[in-house]
């Protein structure tokens, strides 16, 4: 990705992941104080499942989202390549 133009799909896919991550974070905080709210647990689990293929697809196309062993890297090692998802 270094020096290459990022296509529109990059931004669209990253935004979908960010929206789900925000909702998961908010649900997680809510569930910390409301652990018996079945509907919120259901929503949390549904979003967590929805996130998996989106992240997998993003990483296949554009590289890892998380470091420290939470995502695979292609060869050559991808972390030195920019922009990183939090930079866009």
pLDDT reported for residue 66: 73
Tell whether 87 is covered by a domain: no
Q: Give yes or no for a cis peptide into 83 (omega within 30° of 0).
A: yes
Tell whether 53 is covered by a domain: yes
pLDDT reported for residue 80: 59
pLDDT reported for residue 75: 65
SS3 label, residue 68: coil
Tell whether 65 is covered by a domain: yes
Residues 6+ apart with CB under 8 A from 9: 61
| Cα four-point dihedral sign 21, 22, 28, 31 | negative
| pTM, to two decimals | 0.75
Tell whether 13 is covered by a domain: yes
d(CA 77, CA 53): 22
Tell whether 57 is covered by a domain: yes
Q: What is the tally of structural domains in the chain? A: 1
d(CA 38, CA 16): 25
pLDDT tens digits, 2-55: 444 578 899 999 999 999 999 999 999 999 999 999 999 999 999 999 999 999
pLDDT tens digits, 63-79: 888 766 656 556 665 65
Domain boundaries, position 23:
8-80
């Amino acid at each position: 990705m270094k020096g290459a133009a990022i296509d529109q799909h990059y931004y669209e896919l990253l935004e979908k992941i960010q929206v789900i991550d925000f909702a998961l974070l908010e649900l997680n905080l809510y569930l910390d104080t409301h652990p018996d709210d079945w509907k919120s647990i259901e929503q949390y689990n549904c979003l967590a499942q929805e996130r998996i293929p989106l992240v997998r697809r993003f990483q296949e196309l554009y590289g890892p989202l998380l470091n420290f062993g939470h995502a695979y890297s292609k060869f050559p090692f991808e972390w030195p390549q920019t922009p990183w998802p939090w930079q866009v």
